[in-house]
Amino acid sequence: ETGVTQTPRHLVMGMTNKKSLKCEQHLGHNAMYWYKQSAKKPLELMFVYNFKEQTENNSVPSRFSPECPNSSHLFLHLHTLQPEDSALYLCASSPSGGEADTQYFGPGTRLTVL
Amino acid sequence: GQNIDQPTEMTATEGAIVQINCTYQTSGFNGLFWYQQHAGEAPTFLSYNVLDGLEEKGRFSSFLSRSKGYSYLLLKELQMKDSASYLCAVRDSNYQLIWGAGTKLIIKP
């Protein structure tokens, strides 16, 4: 399999549930990202990992918890979410997080919080 | 604050040419990206401009003027499959990507 894959593609959860989103990249990249995409709004960067180390955390609520066990895998653990957290969650990877980096995206997980 | 502006929606005719504009105000500039995103799919990389001028790639071209804080994406010989959202993003002085909200392009036969 090539590129960036994300599972599940769709997720419906209640506010008291705990779930995890998974991202895997097959590009040999060293940087991985989580974004939130809401309708008609710009992409919001949530977390950045570079060589498995978290380098950015853009004031994301603690109900979102990232995990990066290695440079190919990235998880987003979800618990006690709110309905306003419903959105498309995109994972991306890039070679190094450096100056001329281009990010490559997965297809996203469409999350609905009831 | 940092801001990227692009039109919310545009409509064009199959076979025609369309220009999607992007203006930005950011703290520093380290390159501008254009991505295409079909509904329900991943954004895919189209172009990268860091110097002023026009970059041509097949039917798609991207232009940058750093002094004006302005870019455009030019799509020629439009095809129905070009119906998608087009996202403009600028890398600022901290190498963070600042994203626009995207322009939804509708192609009519």
Please answer yes or no on whether A100 and B31 come within 8 Å at the CB atom.
yes
Which pLDDT score is estimated for A97? Answer: 66
Region A77-100 average pLDDT: 89
Strand bridging mode A10-13 / A109-113: parallel
Max CA-CA distance within chain A? 41
Please answer yes or no on whether A42 and B40 come within 8 Å at the CB atom.
no
Which pLDDT score is estimated for B95? Answer: 82
A51: confidence class by pLDDT, cuts 50, 70, 90: confident
Which pLDDT score is estimated for B68? Answer: 96
Give the SS3 label for residue A45: strand
Partner residue opposite B42 with nearest CB, options A99, A102, A108: A108
Nearest chain B CA: its distance from A22 CA (Å): 15
Note the pLDDT tens digit of each residue in B51-108.
999 999 999 999 999 999 999 999 999 999 999 999 999 999 888 899 999 999 999 9
A1: confidence class by pLDDT, cuts 50, 70, 90: low
Nearest chain B CA: its distance from A98 CA (Å): 7
CB A85, CB A113: distance < 8 Å: yes
Please answer yes or no on whether A43 and B89 come within 8 Å at the CB atom.
yes
